[in-house]
Structure 1
Amino acid sequence: MDKNILGNRMITQIGLLVNDIDETSQAYADFFGVEKPLWFWTDTVDLAQTEYNGESSVARAKLAFFDMGSLQLELIEPDRHPSTWREHLDKHGEGPHHIAFVVDGMKEKVALMEKNGMPLVQKGEYNGGRYAYMDTFKQLKIMLELLENDK
């Protein structure tokens, strides 16, 4: 395996899959003594250009974020459409889904990871950037999300 594939060792985010984003975000807000964040839907496929397993996908999810200093906690409640979120939640239940890293050069990083046996599972756009979920379970025992923000 190539070394230092991402060029970054700082975990930016931990993503958790949940069945009820309102209930879980309230539990985290109470636990940490912070305000409950508002959740929002990911964009529709025409804006997000979502692809799952190489095909266009209408899958969406409710997201809520807790900023915890240098780390962000993301809660994800997927809709019923096929996605990495829905598949993982159905197979493994609620809990950790991914750890995320900010990268530069998304296409190059994805290609390098695929060359190293870590295939792209899902990708899409968001306001201000793009994401890619890479199947790193075999090597790293968790999914990695790559985040590239527009400059």
Structure 2
Amino acid sequence: MKNNISFDGFIQIAIVVKDIEKAAEAWANLLNFPVPEIRYLPPVHNPDLTYRGKPAFYGLKLANIRVGNFVIELHEPDEKDSTFREFLDQHGNGVHHLGFQVGEKRDAIIGELEEMGYAMRTIGYYPGSSWTIVDAEDDLGVNLNIKPRA
């Protein structure tokens, strides 16, 4: 790639789980951390969120285990169509994506990944940043989350 994805920007591992309460407790015990807060993000009609090119509408339980500038994210999706539900249905519990903060190179990297045949699975925008899940499971064994800023 012309626009390299740097490990300096490796900020996240996201794990999809069937039971977030169980997983959060297990991670907390393993890392000797307090059990992280579990938040529920209900389905919201958001024109800035897509899944496989169509508007997305799904809920998600989410827990973050922060270690410095790095985050282990736990995701428990509801039954509605989403990248997280798709992964859980196909693979069960597992690493859904690795997240990289790439700054101003975001659009160039996304463009190169598309040229390489990697589909944009989910795109979401929020104040001050965005996230793009790139479907790389077949080649890399995991998806990528490309973000300009964390």
Q: TM-score range by the shorter chain?
A: 0.7 to 0.9
Contact kept? 1:5, 1:113, Cα under 8 Å = no
**How many aligned residue pairs are there?**
148
Q: TM-score, normalised by structure 1?
A: 0.86
Structure 2 match to 1:9? 7
The CA distance in 2 between the partners of 1:33 and 1:138, in whole Å, is 34
How big is each residue's C-alpha offset from its partner over 1:68-111, in whole Å with a ceiling of 9 and x where there is no partner? Answer: 23421110001111111001101100011111100224333222
Q: What is the Cα-based RMSD across aligned positions, in Å?
A: 2.1
- The CA deviation at 1:4 is 4.3
Whether contact under 8 Å (2:28, 2:35) holds in the other structure is: yes
Whether the 8 Å contact between 1:52 and 1:122 is mirrored in structure 2 is yes
Runs of 4 or more consecutive aligned structure 1 residues displaced over 4 Å after TM superposition = none
SS at structure 1 position matched to 2:35: coil
**Unmatched runs of 5 consecutive residues or more in structure 2:** none
Identity of aligned residues (%): 29
SS at 2:103's partner residue?
coil
Matching of residues 18-33 of structure 1 within 5 Å: 18-33=17-32
Residue 146 of structure 2 corresponds to which residue in structure 1? 146
- Quick one: distance in 1 between partners of 2:21 and 2:141? 28
**TM-score with structure 2 setting the length:** 0.86
Residue 60 of structure 1, CA deviation: 2.5
Distance 1:78 1:67, change over 3 A: same
Task: Note if contact 2:16-2:95 (Cα within 8 Å) is conserved in structure 1.
Answer: yes
* Preserved contact between residue 46 and residue 56 of structure 2 (Cα < 8 Å): no
**Match for 1:33: what amino acid?**
N
43-52 or 121-130, which deviates more: 43-52
Is 1:102 the equivalent of 2:118?
no
User: C-alpha separation between the residues in 2 aligned to 1:48 and 1:69?
Assistant: 32
Do the aligned partners of residues 16 and 128 (structure 1) sit closer, same or farther apart at CA in structure 2, a change above 3 Å counting?
same
Distance 1:18 1:133, change over 3 A: same
